[in-house]
């Protein structure tokens, strides 16, 4: 059974730092991209960052570039999000999720759509003084 369990959330002051962790089990962690998605209270979903299987490639939403770092430890089946210079508006539940890549033929062309097929339960980060 695929399981993703986030931890590390809590209360932090504006400008502070926090490191989130996501423990993965039930699948071969090294075969998958991973991602972080956040959701502010009462708001919609916002993609934060992705990381490739070997950690060699990462992507971020513009608003966190230079402040957040996504990383992984494949030996520990773990995903991380280091968050620095946190802002009040980044108060949210942070979810980790597995990224699945499929391969289909569309219009005679091979397409590789990706989607987030398993999600953790989330960890709440509150940025407040």
Partner 1 sequence: DIQMTQSPSSLSASVGDRVAITCRASQSITIYLNWYQQKPGKAPKLLIYAASSLQSGVPSRFSGSGSGTDFTLTISSLQPADFATYYCQQTYITPLTFGQGTKVEIK
Nearer to partner 1, 31 or 121 (CB): 121
* Nearest distance, CB of residue 49 and partner 1, angstroms: 10
Tokens of 118: 């398993």
As a whole number of angstroms, the distance between CA 106 and CA 21 comes to 37
* Nearest distance, CB of residue 125 and partner 1, angstroms: 15
Tokens of 122: 């989330």
Nearer to partner 1, 75 or 109 (CB): 109
* Nearest distance, CB of residue 63 and partner 1, angstroms: 9
Binding site for partner 1 (CB under 8 A): 37, 44-47, 50, 59-62, 95, 100, 102, 104, 106, 111, 113-117, 119-122
* Nearest distance, CB of residue 52 and partner 1, angstroms: 13
Nearer to partner 1, 75 or 110 (CB): 110
């Amino acid at each position: 059974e695929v399981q993703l369990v986030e931890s590390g959330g809590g209360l932090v002051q504006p400008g502070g730092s926090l490191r989130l962790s996501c423990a993965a089990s039930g699948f071969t962690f090294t075969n998958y991209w991973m991602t972080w998605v956040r959701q502010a209270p009462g708001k919609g979903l916002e993609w934060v960052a992705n990381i490739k299987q070997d950690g060699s490639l990462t992507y971020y939403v513009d608003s966190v570039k230079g402040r957040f770092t996504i990383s992984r430890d494949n030996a520990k089946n773990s995903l991380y999000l280091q968050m620095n210079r946190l802002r009040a508006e980044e108060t949210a539940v942070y979810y980790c999720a597995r990224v699945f890549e499929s391969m289909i033929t569309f219009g005679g062309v091979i397409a590789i759509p990706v989607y987030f097929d398993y999600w953790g339960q989330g960890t709440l980060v509150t940025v407040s003084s």
